[in-house]
Amino acid sequence: MSSGNDCQPQTLSKPALGEGEAAELVGRVFGLKVSWISPLPSYDDQNFHVRVAAAGAEDYVLKITNSEDSQEPELIEAQTRAMMLLRAEGFPSATPCLTKDGTRPGSKKYMVRLLTYLPGTPVAKITTNAQILYEIGRLAASVDKVLSEKFQHPSVKSLHRGQFIWNLANVPLLDQYIYALGQNKYRAVVEQVIEQFKDKVIPKLSSFRACEYFILSIIMLN
């Protein structure tokens, strides 16, 4: 993800590797032979679903971080450590793989991570009901509790970025992206939610406890 400090999409910082280049990267950096590779959706980073030619045909996600965030090694390290903690605590969290020389990779332009693949269906692609929404909220609360109580890292402050547009406290910043909806039937609903957030939440924002879960959601969703 981009830092979002200027609140504009960082399209120029997003990597644009082809599938062949990505497969070569996996082999060169992680020492794994790719048997199949396919792009995954992303915002500012570039993600690939990768299957390697090994016993059991293991699957991974190759995450190539945008050039802006790649200049923030402390941010990347804190994200990685948060994932590792959640995995150790029993949550279904992706975990990073070491390079073939036993280190975590990076380059002058892009930071690269190979993460374990978590199979499943995105919530956006299923029909939700009250029980599913309850379970999502319960999981979010559990993740928040663990991160709040157990996640300690020298670079933890790097995760708290003031004008980061994916921070729910910054909902009003989404005003400038309304144009992307065009005349979509949901535009009025989105505008109403933003206005209600400004009127009812912002005045009381300082009394709410920050939720660390939404920091991790950025890591996992991008």
* Residue 194 CA neighbour count, 13 Å, CB half: 15
Average pLDDT of the segment spanning 12-26 = 89
Q: For 169-215, write each residue's pLDDT tens digit.
A: 888 999 888 888 888 888 999 999 999 999 988 898 888 776 654 44
Domains of the chain: residue spans and CATH = 11-120 (3.30.200.20), 124-221 (no CATH)
Q: What pLDDT, on the 0 to 100 scale, is given for residue 6?
A: 42
Q: What pLDDT, on the 0 to 100 scale, is given for residue 217?
A: 46
Q: For 154-168, write each residue's pLDDT tens digit.
A: 777 777 777 777 777
Query: ∠ CA 220-103-3 to the nearest 5 degrees?
Result: 35
Quick one: CA dihedral 16, 4, 61, 124, positive or negative? negative
Query: Which amino acid is it at 150?
Result: K
**CA–CA gap between residue 143 and residue 139 (Å, rounded):** 6
